[in-house]
Structures are given as structure tokens and as C-alpha cells.
Amino acid sequence: MADVTAATVKELREKTGAGMMDCKNALVEAQGDMDKAGDLLRKKGIARASKKASRAVNEGRIEAYIHPGSKIGVLVEINCETDFVAKTDDFKTFSRDVAMQIAASSPLYVKRDGVDQETIDREMDIYREQAKSQGKPENIIEKIATGKLNKFYSEICLMEQPFVKDADKTIENLVTEIIAKLGENISISRFSRFKIGE
């Protein structure tokens, strides 16, 4: 088994932001392999992140982002549990990434539960009619409409959009990762996007 030194524990801690004992235990479990230990920490952190989701978030920051050219601007409120976390570089970077996402992808809502029922009903009616006009069998029209509605959500709901810096992740994945890294519940509360002429 590889030796786990204070230097390797410190290096892993700097890479992941995890606690010293968590880093040491992960390195022991991964037999000194830095990459494996990092993966172990991420897996454990993501599992812990889901447990933190119910905790109150009364601190945070308002992030402002003005896109180069000053034609698009965003204000977004992102909350966390403590002022300490709100002041960390990781939280600030995450906040800026979310603001840039909103500028680039023009979501209308934070989550799908924010979409009003009238909009959902209208979209479902349109998708059903499209499927009927294409001659789809009656028994699969509802499935087709539901699939298209889910696609619609991924376009208009921030949490379901693919992250502009890494399309393999959604914003929801990004939130889960930052919760795991910082050890606090974090939520995106609201945003406003401004575009010249709109």
C-alpha cells in the first residue's frame, strides 16, 4: 500500500476542498492514488449533497453579470447557509458561471415548478396536435407530447439546461457539485435577464 503523507493529504484537500480527515481516508481507501481518491470524495460528496437540500439558505449573494458589449445583463440571487461560504472564491465562481449561463441561454424560470399551468396546458395541446397531424397512433400521442414537454422544460428552466461550459452537465448537476464541494445547501432563488431593446 502506498504511503499517505501529510503532503498528499494537503494536495488532495487543495484540489477538492474536502476536509483533512475525508482526504486522508479517501487516499487510504484509494491506496494513495490521487485521482481515485478524488473520485471517491466526489461520490461521497454528491451523496451528502442530497441530504443537505432541505436545510435553510438565508445567506448568499446577488451576482451581476454584464456581457461584453453591454447589450445583455443579468442579476441572479444565489443562496447558501452561511456568510462564510458566500464569501469563498468557489461560491463566487459558481455564481458568475450561473449568471453567464442565464445571459447565454435565456431561461424563463429557475425550475419547472415555476412554470404556470396555463403554459404547460397550451404546450401539451400543441404537441398533441402536432403528433395527430403526423398520423401518430392515438395510444402514443400522450407519450410524444410528454417527451416534447420535457424538452421544452430543458430549454426554458435554468436547472435543466445544459451548462454552457460543459454540455455533459446540467445546471442542476453543477449545483449538486458545489453543494458537495462546499458542504452547504445552495439554491438559485431568482434572476432577471436584461437585453437592450427587449
DSSP result, 62-123: EEEEE-TTSSEEEEEEEEES-HHHHTSHHHHHHHHHHHHHHHHH--SBSSGGGS-HHHHHHH
Q: What is the pLDDT of residues 161-184, one digit of tens each?
A: 999 999 888 999 899 888 888 888
Q: How far apart are CA 99 and CA 74, in angstroms?
A: 6
Tell me the domains of the chain and their CATH numbers: 6-52 (1.10.8.10), 59-110+157-195 (3.30.479.20), 116-155 (1.10.286.20)
Q: Is the pLDDT of residue 193 over 50?
A: yes
Average pLDDT over residues 127-141: 89
Classified as helix, coil or strand, 193 is strand
Q: How far apart are CA 35 and CA 102, in angstroms?
A: 32
Per-residue pLDDT, 1: 47
Q: What is the pLDDT of residues 70-97, one digit of tens each?
A: 999 999 999 998 889 999 999 999 999 9
Per-residue pLDDT, 190: 95
CB-count exposure of residue 114 (10 Å: 0-12, 13-18, 19+): middle
| β-sheet bridge partners, residue 66 | 73
Contact between 76 and 63 under an 8 Å Cβ cutoff? The reply is: yes
Q: What is the pLDDT of residues 15-64, one digit of tens each?
A: 766 667 778 888 888 888 888 887 887 777 655 555 555 666 779 999 99
Per-residue pLDDT, 15: 72
Q: How far apart are CA 150 and CA 169, in angstroms?
A: 16
